[in-house]
């Protein structure tokens, strides 16, 4: 019996030790020279899984997906990888492109391998920080962080961002929890630059948020629109207006507040982390996702602004006419986009903690 | 002869030690690789300096520990302790009668304990999200009450202290009930009978006999509930609407949006230190670490 116990103990020890190093295997390739699998890091809820299944069927490359809920998760993983990323493909929102490029965290993209990108409209190219389109490939979509309200239940007319602090809205607001959006909107409303690094301006922005927070029922990273739909809130500072408008009944029920200072805009890009092992396969996936059929599948799954003629011809009429995807230019012409810096991040964290702990 | 016997003894002892080493090896590998080393790394990281873009500069600094004392962060610590204390109190107050009831029903106590463990069978995230669905304005509770005519418009059940308290008690109650049940079950029941025979009423018997005898169980319940509660920000985020920032949120933010790993590590170390101090106090008051599962 004793020898059996010893044997079991040795076996378990070896299993655990080996288990710790699982995943450190060598890569394999398919017959056509592509790797058998790639690792990607993308936003949760942005892509239908069928895209990756179709990709595997077409090219024999299995896609291992890690979902993220904010870009900082990508940054944390890339920094930890120390230039040898385990990921081959990432979603990257425009605000982060400049710091990622400045810190050499991205590989150059060979657009010869992405012929479908030629169909993209001009306005999606050249995000701040990558004006030459060297490191990022547009996904074809851009978004706005908007104040959306229920026309029937919102007790006041919202004409400026500061109106969110009106006591009549107590418990009525759902807000995104992105620090960039929170401080960007507040700084602009106070007449400052959204990428300010002046501490006194953040003090004022935090004071404004302290007042607005009295009316906020929920801060959430996603699904703001659900709190409007289930009647929990009558106003939302959100980026999922298009999802709210997926239901046709909502088209006349909700509207965007026409504020005087403009809204935050951001576009979505794809990138390849520095040191990625499967650059060629990542470019192949980008090209695949920009094909009309797959682009249409993305839009049907997560409604977004369309930037090719081909996709517009393929999506349903409800998507084409979705009010969120056809915003009046008066809402978007004053929009602003901002690259984030370390100085901003430090100030944002300090003052976010301050107003959230009040 | 004596020398040979000694040599045999030494040989046997060596063999026995070797077998002990082998037997302990799996657990040792596990503990060292997945608990001890990460904790040491966390401690090391907390004394480093923040670099640009979330990087870490390997320069010794105590700045992160000093920063915890800044009012913004200190307020968060105070609030976390307050919420954890309230939730712990609620769990103990609800859990004690429950544990007493289960212990008193010997025939079905196993079934009752199993039922109480049911929340552990599913992912906590799923159960908390079910509360969001139940408590929302168009949720199950409001719809039911409105159908019955008890209310005419939805009442606010979500994103307030009520929903946070319900969520906390629901998730942490088993941690409180188990040690208290164990303590009540082990109690010598003849002492209660003796108390009654000597003329004490039920209240006096409870206060002077049952309660003191089950004190270790209550203390264990407090520790087991308070410790997870202090870092448990998921419930306040999902059911409280994320309008309150707890120490768990701040730590999470440091490793993500704030990009300050040394500060996040320092906060984590402080949290770990608080827990160790609590466990030390627990043992000093006669608590048994076995009751905590240690």
Which residue, among A46, A105, A47, A45, has the nearest Cα to A72 in the 3D structure? A105
Complex ipTM more than 0.85, yes or no? no
B258 with A345: Cβ contact below 8 A: yes
Domains present along chain A, CATH in parentheses: 33-142+267-321 (3.40.190.10), 144-265+327-357 (3.40.190.10)
Let me know if B51 is exposed, middle or buried by CB neighbors in 10 A (0-12, 13-18, 19+): middle
Residue A62, SS3 per DSSP: strand
C-alpha Rg value of chain B to the nearest Å: 25
B142 in Cβ contact with B136 (< 8 Å): yes
* Per-residue pLDDT at B116: 84
Count of beta carbons in the 10 Å neighbourhood of residue B217: 27
- Alpha-carbon distance of A105 to A75, in angstroms, equals 9
Q: To the nearest whole angstrom, how far is the Cα of B281 from the nearest Cα of chain A?
A: 29
Which residue from A minimizes the CA distance to B56?
A79
Hey, what CATH topology would domain B71-292 get? Answer: MetI-like fold (1.10.3720)
Residue A106's beta-bridge partner residues?
A273
- Alpha-carbon distance of B154 to B141, in angstroms, equals 9
Would you say the C-alpha torsion A178, A183, A184, A185 has a positive or negative sign? Answer: positive
Let me know if A72 is exposed, middle or buried by CB neighbors in 10 A (0-12, 13-18, 19+): buried
Q: Is A321 on the interface with B (CB under 8 A)?
A: no
Six-digit token string for A18? 């080996």
* In the predicted structure, residue B237 carries a pLDDT above the cut 60: yes
Of B53, B75, B138, the CB nearest to A99: B53
A152 in Cβ contact with A248 (< 8 Å): no
Q: Strand runs (DSSP E) across chain B, as ranges? A: 49-50, 56-57
What are the boundaries of each domain within chain B?
A: 71-292
Alpha carbon distances (Å) from A329 to A89, A161, A332: 33, 18, 5
A237 in Cβ contact with A219 (< 8 Å): no
- Alpha-carbon distance of A150 to A236, in angstroms, equals 9
Across the A:B interface, residue pairs with CB atoms under 8 Å apart total: 113
* Per-residue pLDDT at A339: 81
The residue with tokens 């009654």 is B196
* Per-residue pLDDT at A78: 82
Would you say the C-alpha torsion A321, A325, A329, A331 has a positive or negative sign? Answer: positive
Which chain B residues touch A if contact means CB-CB below 8 Å? 19, 22-23, 25-26, 29-30, 33, 52-55, 72-73, 75-76, 79, 136-139, 154, 156, 158-159, 241-245, 249-250, 253-260
The residue with tokens 């408590």 is B135
Burial A45-64 (b: 16+ CB within 10 A, else e): ebbeeebbebbeeebebebe
Which residue, among B275, B285, B290, has the nearest Cα to B219 in the 3D structure? B285
- Alpha-carbon distance of B74 to B86, in angstroms, equals 19
Using one digit for the tens of pLDDT, what is the confidence trace for B31-70? Answer: 899 999 999 999 999 999 988 877 888 999 999 999 988 8
A308 in Cβ contact with A120 (< 8 Å): yes
Q: How far is CA B266 from the centre of its chain?
A: 20
- Alpha-carbon distance of A174 to A181, in angstroms, equals 13
Residue A58, SS3 per DSSP: helix
Alpha carbon distances (Å) from B233 to A18, B212, B262, B270: 34, 33, 21, 17
Which residue, among A209, A238, A232, has the nearest Cα to B163 in the 3D structure? A232
B26 with A231: Cβ contact below 8 A: no
Q: Is A211 on the interface with B (CB under 8 A)?
A: no
- Alpha-carbon distance of A57 to A38, in angstroms, equals 14
- Complete DSSP assignment for B209-255: IIHHHTHHHHHHHHHHHHHHHHH-HHHHHHHSTT-S--HHHHHHHHH
- Alpha-carbon distance of B89 to B225, in angstroms, equals 9
For chain A, 358 residues long, give each residue's pLDDT as a single digit of tens. 556 666 665 665 555 555 544 444 445 566 568 899 999 999 888 899 999 999 999 999 999 999 987 787 888 788 777 777 889 999 999 988 988 898 888 999 999 999 999 999 998 999 989 999 999 999 998 889 999 999 999 999 999 999 999 999 999 999 998 888 999 999 999 999 999 999 999 999 999 999 999 999 999 877 888 899 888 899 999 988 988 998 888 999 999 999 989 999 988 999 999 999 999 999 999 999 999 999 999 999 988 889 999 999 999 988 989 999 988 888 888 888 878 888 888 898 889 888 887 6
Which residue from A minimizes the CA distance to B18?
A6
B256 with A79: Cβ contact below 8 A: no
């Amino acid at each position: 019996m004793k020898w059996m116990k010893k044997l079991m103990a040795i076996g378990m020890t070896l299993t655990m030790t080996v288990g710790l190093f699982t995943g450190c295997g060598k890569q394999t390739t398919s017959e056509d020279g592509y790797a058998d699998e790639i690792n990607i890091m993308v936003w949760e809820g942005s892509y239908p899984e069928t895209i990756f299944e179709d990709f595997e069927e077409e090219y024999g490359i299995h896609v291992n997906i890690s979902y993220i809920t904010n870009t900082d998760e990508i940054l944390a993983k890339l920094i930890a990888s120390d230039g040898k990323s385990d990921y081959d493909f990432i979603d990257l929102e425009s605000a982060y492109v400049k710091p990622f490029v400045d810190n050499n965290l991205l590989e150059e993209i060979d657009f010869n391998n992405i012929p479908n990108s030629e169909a993209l409209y001009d306005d999606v190219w050249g995000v701040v920080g990558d004006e030459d389109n060297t490191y990022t490939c547009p996904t074809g979509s851009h978004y706005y962080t908007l104040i959306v309200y229920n026309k029937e239940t919102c007790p006041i007319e919202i004409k400026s961002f500061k109106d969110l602090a009106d006591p009549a809205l107590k418990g009525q607001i759902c807000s995104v929890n992105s620090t960039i959006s929170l401080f960007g909107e507040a700084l602009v409303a106070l007449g400052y630059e959204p990428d300010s690094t002046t501490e006194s301006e953040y003090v004022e922005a935090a004071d404004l948020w302290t007042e607005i927070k009295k009316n906020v029922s929920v801060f959430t990273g996603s699904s703001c629109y659900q709190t409007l739909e289930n009647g929990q809130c009558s106003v939302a500072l959100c980026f999922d207006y298009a999802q709210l408008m997926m239901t046709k009944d909502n088209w006349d029920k909700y509207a965007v507040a026409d504020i005087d200072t403009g809204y935050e805009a951001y576009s979505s890009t794809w990138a390849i982390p520095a040191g990625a092992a499967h650059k060629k396969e990542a470019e192949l996936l980008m090209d695949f996702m920009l094909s009309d059929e797959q682009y249409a599948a993305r839009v049907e799954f997560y409604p977004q602004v369309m930037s090719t003629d081909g996709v517009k011809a393929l999506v349903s009429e409800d998507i084409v006419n979705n009010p969120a995807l056809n915003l009046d230019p008066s809402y978007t012409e004053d929009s602003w986009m901002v690259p984030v810096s370390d100085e901003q991040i430090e100030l944002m964290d300090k003052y976010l903690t301050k107003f959230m702990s009040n | 002869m004596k020398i040979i016997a000694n040599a045999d003894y030494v040989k046997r002892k060596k063999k026995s030690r070797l077998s002990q080493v082998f037997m302990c090896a799996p657990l040792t590998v596990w503990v060292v690789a997945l608990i001890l080393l990460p904790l040491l790394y966390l401690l090391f990281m907390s004394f480093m300096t923040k670099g640009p873009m979330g990087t870490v500069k390997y320069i010794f600094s105590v700045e992160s520990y000093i920063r915890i004392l800044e009012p913004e962060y200190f307020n968060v610590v105070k609030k976390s302790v307050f919420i954890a204390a309230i939730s712990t109190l609620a769990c103990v107050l609800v859990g004690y009668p429950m544990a007493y009831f289960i212990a008193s029903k010997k025939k079905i106590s196993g079934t009752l304990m199993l039922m109480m463990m049911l929340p552990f069978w599913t992912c906590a995230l799923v159960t908390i999200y079910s509360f969001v669905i139940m408590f929302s304005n168009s949720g199950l509770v409001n719809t039911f009450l409105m159908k019955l005519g008890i209310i005419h418009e939805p009442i606010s059940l979500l994103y307030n202290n009520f929903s946070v308290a319900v969520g906390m008690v629901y998730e942490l109650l088993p941690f409180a009930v188990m040690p208290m049940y164990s303590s009540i079950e082990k109690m010598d029941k003849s002492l209660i009978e003796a108390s009654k025979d000597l003329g004490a009423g039920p209240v006096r018997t409870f206060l002077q006999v049952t309660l003191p005898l089950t004190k270790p169980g209550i203390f264990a319940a407090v520790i087991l509930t308070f410790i997870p509660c202090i870092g448990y920000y998921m419930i306040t985020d999902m059911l409280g609407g994320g309008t309150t920032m707890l120490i768990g949120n701040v730590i999470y933010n440091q490793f993500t949006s704030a990009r300050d790993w040394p500060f996040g590590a320092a906060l984590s170390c402080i949290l770990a230190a608080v827990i160790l101090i609590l466990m030390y106090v627990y043992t000093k008051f006669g608590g048994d670490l076995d009751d905590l599962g240690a």
